[in-house]
Amino acid sequence: MRKDKGQIINEIMVQFTSLAENVALSRVLTSSVVTHWDITISQLEDLKVAVSEAVSNAIIHGYENQKDGMVSMRFLCYETYLLIEIKDEGIGIENIQQAMEANFSSDKQRMGLGFSFMKMFTDELEVTSEVGKGTTVLLGKKMPAVKGKE
């Protein structure tokens, strides 16, 4: 995944507790990081949806809504690319391929669309997971060249 993106120009790491209200925090963090680039409001909205889905999954599924887990977010900023890593140390995913299928959910009450939104609203999506150890979701999104720079 990380090939040919050039040099990392900024790296930001944040950790927060697995509280539902921190989904909103993850959206605000994403908005702040993205101010570096001149992206449209709708592109930013898309990215925030993808991030919220990954962070909600970490809290709801990874930590099964327990409030004592830690979720970490890492932003890797390249000249024209943004990678966002969302990581939990929760229960992990047994079958990643099945989990990523549209409409699959381990919870009957849910739609099973989180991964579909992540795929739809990013340019790259990579999921790694180990049962009992946790899950890492990597979201990649192309960014426009910053004005005044070549």
Residue positions annotated with a catalytic role: 53, 57, 110
According to the binding rule CB under 5 A, does residue 57 interact with Mg ion? yes
User: In whole angstroms, what is the distance from residue 90 CA to residue 87 CA?
Assistant: 9
Binding residues for Mg ion, total number by CB under 5 A? 2
Shortest spacing between CB 39 and ligand ATP, in angstroms = 24
* Type of residue at 116: S
Binding partner at 135 among ligand ATP, Mg ion, none, C-beta below 5 to 8 Å by kind: ligand ATP
Q: Which chain residues interact with ligand ATP by CB under 6 A?
A: 53, 57-58, 61-62, 88, 90-93, 99, 104-107, 110-115, 135
According to the binding rule CB under 5 A, does residue 62 interact with Mg ion? no
With respect to ligand ATP, which residue has the nearer C-beta, 36 or 92?
Answer: 92
With respect to ligand ATP, which residue has the nearer C-beta, 10 or 106?
Answer: 106
Of the candidate residues 69, 90, 114, 140, the single one contacting Mg ion (CB under 5 A): 114
Shortest spacing between CB 88 and Mg ion, in angstroms = 13
User: In whole angstroms, what is the distance from residue 22 CA to residue 3 CA?
Assistant: 31
